Structure 1
Amino acid sequence: MKIGFRTVKTALAVVFSIYLAHFLQLDTYTFAGVIAILTLQATRKASLAAAGKLSLAAGITLLIGSGLFYLLDFRIYVVGLILLLVIPLLVKTGAERGIVLSSVVSLHLFAAEEISSAVIWNEVLILFSGMGVSLLVNMAYMPSRKKRVQEIREKLAGECASLFTQLANHLESEGYIWDGREILSISELIEQGKAEALLNAENAMTRDEINDYQYFEEKEKQFETIKRMLALVSHVQKVVVQGEMLAVMLRKLAEKLGRGKHAELGEMRDEIRVLRREYEAMPLPTTRDEFEIRAALLQILNELESYLLAYQ
Structure 2
Amino acid sequence: MKKRTLNTSTWLKIIKIAAGSCLAIILADLLGLSYSASAGIITLLSIQDTKKETLKVATKRFAAFATAVLIALIIFQSLGYHPVTFGLFLLFFVTASYLFHITEGIPMCSVLVSHFLIEQNMSLAFIGNEVAILGIGIIIGVILNLYMPDNTGAVLKDIVLVEEEVKDILKDIAAVLRVKNRKEQEDGSKQEDGNEVTPDQEKMQELDHMLSSLEEHLNLAQKQAYENMNNTLLTDTRYYIGYFTMRKEQVLMLKQTLADMKQLKLIPKQANPLAYMMDKIKEQFRESNNARELIKELNRMKELFKEEPVPATREEFENRAILYGIMNNIESFLVIKRDFVDSVTESQIERFWKRSKKTKQ
Q: TM-score, normalised by structure 2?
A: 0.74
Output the amino acid matched with 2:75.
L
Give the deviation of 1:310 after TM superposition: 3.7
Give the deviation of 1:7 after TM superposition: 1.3
Pick from 136, 141, 151 the counterpart of residue 145 of structure 1: 151
**Whole-angstrom distance in 2 between the partners of 1:70 and 1:206:** 45
1:68 corresponds to which residue? 75
Give the deviation of 1:94 after TM superposition: 4.1
Segment of structure 1 superposing worse, 280-289 or 51-60: 280-289
Give the deviation of 1:148 after TM superposition: 3.3
Segment of structure 1 superposing worse, 124-133 or 1-10: 1-10
* Matched ranges for 1:73-88 at <5 A: 73-75=80-82, 77-88=84-95
Instruction: Work out whether 1:303 is the aligned partner of 2:314.
Output: no
Alpha-carbon distance change, 298 to 115 in structure 1, aligned in 2, over 3 angstroms: closer
| CA offsets 1:64-120 (integer angstroms, 9 cap, x no match) | 222233233445554444334434443454444433323322232234443322222
Instruction: Work out whether 1:165 is the aligned partner of 2:193.
Output: no
Give the deviation of 1:308 after TM superposition: 1.4
1:152–1:193 CA contact under 8 A, matched in 2: yes
Give the deviation of 1:290 after TM superposition: 3.3
Alpha-carbon distance change, 64 to 206 in structure 1, aligned in 2, over 3 angstroms: closer
Instruction: Work out whether 1:201 is the aligned partner of 2:256.
Output: no
2:246 corresponds to which residue? 218
Instruction: Work out whether 1:18 is the aligned partner of 2:35.
Output: no
Output the amino acid matched with 1:269.
I
1:231 corresponds to which residue? 259
Give the deviation of 1:5 after TM superposition: 0.5
1:193–1:216 CA contact under 8 A, matched in 2: yes
Output the amino acid matched with 1:252.
K
Segment of structure 1 superposing worse, 155-164 or 42-51: 155-164
Alpha-carbon distance change, 294 to 117 in structure 1, aligned in 2, over 3 angstroms: same
Q: What secondary structure does 2:49 align onto? A: coil
Alpha-carbon distance change, 25 to 264 in structure 1, aligned in 2, over 3 angstroms: same
Instruction: Work out whether 1:36 is the aligned partner of 2:43.
Output: yes
Q: What secondary structure does 2:270 align onto? A: helix
| CA offsets 1:246-294 (integer angstroms, 9 cap, x no match) | 112212323444xx57538543223323433443554444444333333
Output the amino acid matched with 1:57.
A
**Whole-angstrom distance in 1 between the partners of 2:292 and 2:39:** 56
Q: CA RMSD in A?
A: 3.0
Alpha-carbon distance change, 27 to 168 in structure 1, aligned in 2, over 3 angstroms: same
Instruction: Work out whether 1:183 is the aligned partner of 2:211.
Output: yes
1:119 corresponds to which residue? 126
Segment of structure 1 superposing worse, 128-137 or 232-241: 232-241
Output the amino acid matched with 2:324.
L
**Whole-angstrom distance in 2 between the partners of 1:212 and 1:28:** 45
Give the deviation of 1:218 after TM superposition: 1.3
Alpha-carbon distance change, 311 to 266 in structure 1, aligned in 2, over 3 angstroms: farther
1:232–1:300 CA contact under 8 A, matched in 2: yes
Alpha-carbon distance change, 288 to 251 in structure 1, aligned in 2, over 3 angstroms: same
Pick from 103, 106, 110 the counterpart of residue 113 of structure 2: 106
Q: What secondary structure does 1:263 align onto? A: coil
Alpha-carbon distance change, 66 to 285 in structure 1, aligned in 2, over 3 angstroms: same
Q: What secondary structure does 1:131 align onto? A: helix
**Whole-angstrom distance in 2 between the partners of 1:273 and 1:235:** 23
2:246–2:337 CA contact under 8 A, matched in 1: no
Give the deviation of 1:188 after TM superposition: 1.6
1:40–1:134 CA contact under 8 A, matched in 2: yes
The answer for unaligned runs of 5 or more in structure 2 is 183-196, 339-361
**Whole-angstrom distance in 1 between the partners of 2:238 and 2:16:** 24
2:249–2:336 CA contact under 8 A, matched in 1: no
Instruction: Work out whether 1:156 is the aligned partner of 2:162.
Output: yes
Give the deviation of 1:168 after TM superposition: 1.9
Alpha-carbon distance change, 116 to 311 in structure 1, aligned in 2, over 3 angstroms: same
**Whole-angstrom distance in 2 between the partners of 1:291 and 1:44:** 58
1:128 corresponds to which residue? 135
1:240 corresponds to which residue? 268
**Whole-angstrom distance in 2 between the partners of 1:143 and 1:280:** 55
Between the aligned residues of both structures, percent identity stands at 27
The answer for unaligned runs of 5 or more in structure 1 is none
